């Protein structure tokens, strides 16, 4: 059955009037998920110009409904229409009773005018490694790759590419809010989704209800600062795995102490720098090994898989090597956001200097956080300034953060906390991994977030769990 939502012009950003119809979702996504689309301008500076469709999904509240909880899984570049279905299985009943869970494919991703940089699978794999320098620290190969990616994205994505930005995604979110008939909307975002949520609540402060930002991105030095934080994130998180592996040395043989496990990692990476291991999935280089290790650290439940990878590399057992598909298969959409949102340095020599310095400071990531990206060769300049995150607006934001997050480290979360000032409170967990709420089993943090979503209570001060 189709449910029609009529909207008045007064509810929409820029005065547009639309209707939306809910129906089954594309791609065989099962009930109770239902989908619709919302028409938005490609260029909000020209609202009468071309339109695109934003794919939107919903899992309806199962009890006495208080509103809608929009969500974003991060990335950038990650489609989001499946997220309500996934979150409906993990959120407490008290939350799913009260909220319609709303997902969407952000512009440039999934079924919402996706960006296509024309990558082959091999180029996508290379893209995930793009920021890593050569074993000797040279960025010459990375420079060539970054330049090629930028040229290919512009060539294959067409004239609308510059409009794939976080600010425009936030404007799309407000169109979705209006389509739902909501005067205000609550929000749960993870990783990049925390920055998106902060931008939305800054651009539309009076339309934001309860805002939860989980695994918090820095708002500073966009997006170069996010990449630079990866070194600290790895340094924070790696000791968790090293301690875990050392405690099981009798079975794993990766080192009897955390320091020995660290030495094993550095030794295996250096070995692969010199002689990559040929496998069915392709050669495993030192940088492939480093990136796979970093990605496996996102969740403690994958520690056994990471140990298996190390053992296979250590013994040269190519058949036992299982390469986790890169988290950057979202590369096209991510590149558009990174490069359109903010200006990046253009001085190649400066990148080389930064990489050499970063390799010394953070040897676990071998200079990758400071590496050159396609944005250094992006032909477009940002169409508008970066949205400055401040303490201006209602005090309705809760930050949730693990202390040892490999992707969005505590340091960046504290920078967001400082920027938001009196608008926010922050709850941190003595835990590792990327994703805090309902991810690590920390009952203290989970309770704080659930209470905020369900009854609006928030700690008077920041809380450490």
Max mean pLDDT range (281-285, 287-291, 319-323, 450-454): 450-454
For the chain, give the mean pLDDT.
Answer: 92
CA distance 241 to 169: 36
Determine which one of 172, 186, 434, 446 is catalytic.
434
Max mean pLDDT range (107-111, 127-131, 140-144, 236-240): 236-240
DSSP secondary structure letters along 336-363: HHHHHHS-----HHHHHHHHHHHHHH-T
pLDDT tens digits, 161-179: 999 999 999 999 999 999 9
CA distance 149 to 130: 10
Token duo for residue 364: 């676990």
pLDDT at 392 over 50: yes
CA distance 413 to 215: 7
Query: Considering only CA atoms, which of 131, 122, 118, 364 is closest in space to residue 237?
Result: 364
Going from the C-alpha of 310 to that of each of 53, 245, 272, 340, the distances in angstroms are 44, 11, 12, 38
CA distance 197 to 190: 9
- Percent of the chain surpassing pLDDT 70: 92
Per domain, the residue ranges of the chain are 53-112+170-222+393-464
Which region among 11-15, 28-32, 95-99, 336-340 has the lowest average model confidence (pLDDT)? 11-15
How many CB atoms within 10 Å of residue 306?
Answer: 20
Contacts of 38 (CB under 8 A, 6+ apart): 18, 20, 53, 54, 56, 172, 175, 176, 179
Q: Examine the residue annotation and report whether 17 is marked as an active-site residue of this protein.
A: no
Judge whether 129 and 137 are in contact, CB under 8 Å: no
Q: What is the DSSP letter of 257?
A: S
Which region among 19-23, 28-32, 92-96, 99-103 has the lowest average model confidence (pLDDT)? 19-23
Give the three-state DSSP class for 40: strand
Determine which one of 157, 191, 208, 326 is catalytic.
191
Q: How far is CA 147 from the centre of its chain?
A: 24
Judge whether 320 and 281 are in contact, CB under 8 Å: no
Determine which one of 18, 209, 240, 405 is catalytic.
405
Going from the C-alpha of 61 to that of each of 75, 98, 100, 450, the distances in angstroms are 26, 6, 4, 15
pLDDT at 324 over 80: no
pLDDT at 70 over 80: yes
DSSP secondary structure letters along 76-119: TT---TTHHHHHHHHS-HHHHHHEEEEEE--TTBTTBS------
Token duo for residue 406: 């490999």
Q: Are strands 397-404 and 208-216 parallel, antiparallel or unpaired?
A: parallel
Q: Is the peptide bond before 76 cis (omega within 30 degrees of 0)?
A: yes
Token duo for residue 225: 């600062």
pLDDT at 128: 60
Max mean pLDDT range (215-224, 281-290, 312-321): 215-224
Query: Considering only CA atoms, which of 304, 295, 361, 283 is closest in space to residue 328?
Result: 295
pLDDT at 121: 60
Q: Examine the residue annotation and report whether 259 is marked as an active-site residue of this protein.
A: no
Q: Examine the residue annotation and report whether 157 is marked as an active-site residue of this protein.
A: no
Token duo for residue 226: 């996010």
Q: What is the mean pLDDT of residues 36-54?
A: 96
pLDDT at 52 over 50: yes
Which region among 52-56, 128-132, 324-328 has the lowest average model confidence (pLDDT)? 324-328
CA distance 215 to 409: 8
Domain 53-112+170-222+393-464 part of CATH 3.90.180.10: no
């Amino acid at each position: 059955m189709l449910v029609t939502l009529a909207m008045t012009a007064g509810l929409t950003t820029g005065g547009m009037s639309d209707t939306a119809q809910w129906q089954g979702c594309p791609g065989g996504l099962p009930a109770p998920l239902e989908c619709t689309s919302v028409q938005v301008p490609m260029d909000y500076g020209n609202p009468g110009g071309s339109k695109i469709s934003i794919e939107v999904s919903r899992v309806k509240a199962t009890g006495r409904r208080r509103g809608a909880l929009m969500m974003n899984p991060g990335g950038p570049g990650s489609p989001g229409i499946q997220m309500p279905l996934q979150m409906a299985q993990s959120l407490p009943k008290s939350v799913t009773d009260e909220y319609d869970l709303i997902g969407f494919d952000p512009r440039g991703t999934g079924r919402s005018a996706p960006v296509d940089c024309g990558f082959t699978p091999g180029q996508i794999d290379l893209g995930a490694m793009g920021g890593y320098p050569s074993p000797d620290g040279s960025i010459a190969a990375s420079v060539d790759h970054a330049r090629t990616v930028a040229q290919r994205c512009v060539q294959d994505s067409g004239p609308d590419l510059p409009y794939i930005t976080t600010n425009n995604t936030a404007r799309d979110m407000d169109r979705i809010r209006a389509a739902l008939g909501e005067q205000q909307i609550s929000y749960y975002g993870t990783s990049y989704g925390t920055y998106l949520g902060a931008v939305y609540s800054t651009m539309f402060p009076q339309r934001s209800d309860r805002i939860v930002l989980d695994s918090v991105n820095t708002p500073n030095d966009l997006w170069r600062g996010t990449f630079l934080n990866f070194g600290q994130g790895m340094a924070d998180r790696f000791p968790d795995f090293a301690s875990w592996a050392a405690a099981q040395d009798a079975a794993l043989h990766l080192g009897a102490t955390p320091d020995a496990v660290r030495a094993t990692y550095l030794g295996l990476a250096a070995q692969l720098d010199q002689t990559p291991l040929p496998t069915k999935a392709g050669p495993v280089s030192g940088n492939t090994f480093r990136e796979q290790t970093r990605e496996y650290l996102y969740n403690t439940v994958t520690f056994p898989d990471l140990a298996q990878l190390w053992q296979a590399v250590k013994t040269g057992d190519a058949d036992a090597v299982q390469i986790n598909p890169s988290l950057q298969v979202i590369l096209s959409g991510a590149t558009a956001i990174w490069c359109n949102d903010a200006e990046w340095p253009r001085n190649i020599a400066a990148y080389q200097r930064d990489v050499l310095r970063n390799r010394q400071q953070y040897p676990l990531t071998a200079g990758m956080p400071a590496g050159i990206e396609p944005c250094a060769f992006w032909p477009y300049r940002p169409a508008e300034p970066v949205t400055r995150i401040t303490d201006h607006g209602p005090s309705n934001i809760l930050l949730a953060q693990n202390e040892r997050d490999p992707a969005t480290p505590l340091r960046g979360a504290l920078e967001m906390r400082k920027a938001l000032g009196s608008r926010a409170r922050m709850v941190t967990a003595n835990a590792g991994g990327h994703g805090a709420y309902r991810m690590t089993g920390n009952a203290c943090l989970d309770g704080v977030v659930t209470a905020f979503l369900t009854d609006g209570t928030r700690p008077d001060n920041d809380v450490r769990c």
